Amino acid sequence: MTTQVRPDPAAQAAPAAANPPMGAQLSAALPEWWPVLAGLAALFLPTMFSLFTGAWVGEEQAHGPMIFALALWLAWRKWPGVLAQPAAPSWLGWPLLTVGLALHLLGRSQHILMFEIGSIILVLAAIVLAKLGAPALRVLWFPFFFMLFMVPLPSEFVAAVTMPMKMAVSWATEHLLFAAGYPIARSGVILQIGQYQLLVADACAGLQTLLTLEALGLFYLNLMRHPSAFRNIGLAILIIPISFSANVIRVITLTLVTYYLGDAAGQGFLHGFAGMVLFLTALVLILAVDSSLQWYVARRRGGDR
């Protein structure tokens, strides 16, 4: 004689009750968080309006909206992990909040973009620390670190680093096209191909482009979460030559477009298309290098066995 044990409906419902959906958790937390959200909106909506109608429209800071959107998406993706941490509000959040508000006031009043954007990161981190504690901040460390890539660097530093990069990209473009048989010459960062002259601008081979591609690579690493430290560190370092190669390919593309289709095509729609070529090239190179590192790690592990 066999006895069938029927599952207890209350026991089955317990895990669901212990882990309610994200929407239900947000609705339950809304009464506590709406003053904070209202304060953030009053503080930063004018800043966002200024950025979307000013700095983020130009080529040099055009990566800002992408970085900010990806950082918010990463924070949303990690939010269940934040809710799983025990709430441990820390008093350290309040002095950090004071520094962030002072930085925002200084940046907003004196039009210092680096301070104004940097204050967004400090204020958000301070709120997480003051409301939820250090464990929650540890879960969200990468989104906050990722937002650092949207903070503009001092113009003097950017200019000092960008010029050698432009010289190197111009040199590589000249030698590659000359080896391919094109009538090209170079004077500094000015390329002469046929009857056309092209100036390699900061947006084509500058520090901001390097930082944007580095952010793209780190975002890819965070999504993949490789267990191999060698693979993660190797790809993070190799993103620098990947960025250089992508910049060279972009300048070569613009040069050839100008040579075959004229100056108007090179400076018009196809110039923006060359920017897409830059990021697609960088993405393909990142995937290729990552696959090569994966093959190397797998081969080394096989050899160890």
* 250 part of the active site: yes
Q: Where are the alpha helices (DSSP H) in the chain?
A: 9-18, 22-53, 64-83, 93-110, 113-131, 134-139, 141-147, 155-179, 202-205, 207-224, 229-261, 263-267, 269-304
- Please give the DSSP secondary-structure letter assigned to residue 215: H
Give the lowest-confidence range in 21-30, 43-52, 122-131, 254-263.
21-30
Among 23-27, 134-138, 181-185, 192-196, which stretch is predicted with the lowest mean pLDDT? 23-27
Cα–Cα distance for residue pair 279/285, rounded to 1 Å = 10
- Please check the confidence at residue 1 and state whether its pLDDT lies above 60: no
Is the distance from CB of 53 to CB of 118 less than 8 angstroms?
no
- Judge whether residue 37 has pLDDT over 80: yes
In 3-state terms, what secondary structure has residue 133?
strand
Contact predicate 174/214, CB 8 Å: no
User: CA–CA distance from 125 to each of 33, 97, 98, 145, 236 (Å)?
Assistant: 15, 8, 12, 10, 25
Q: Using 50, 70 and 90 to split pLDDT, how confident is the model at 122? A: very high
**Once rounded to an integer, what is the mean pLDDT over residues 190-211?**
77
57-109 pLDDT tens trace? 776 777 788 889 989 999 988 888 888 888 888 899 999 999 999 999 999 99
The catalytic residue among 77, 204, 225, 305 is 204
Mean of per-residue pLDDT scores for the chain: 80
87 dihedral zone (left: phi>0; alpha: psi -120 to 50; beta): beta
Residue 20: per-residue pLDDT: 59
Pick the residue with more confidence: 270 or 258? 258
Q: How far apart (Å, rounded) are the C-alpha atoms in residues 58 and 42?
A: 25
* Residue 274, C-beta contacts closer than 8 angstroms, at least 6 positions apart: 250, 253, 254, 257
First to last CA, the chain: 53
Which of 86-90, 130-134, 248-252, 264-268 comes out lowest in average pLDDT?
Answer: 264-268
**What's residue 240's pLDDT?**
82
Residue 253 and residue 272: Cα distance in Å, rounded? 11
Find the catalytic residue in 108, 186, 231, 250: 250
**pTM confidence score:** 0.72
Higher per-residue confidence, 301 vs 218: 218
H or E element at residue 197: strand 196-199
Average pLDDT over residues 140-166: 85
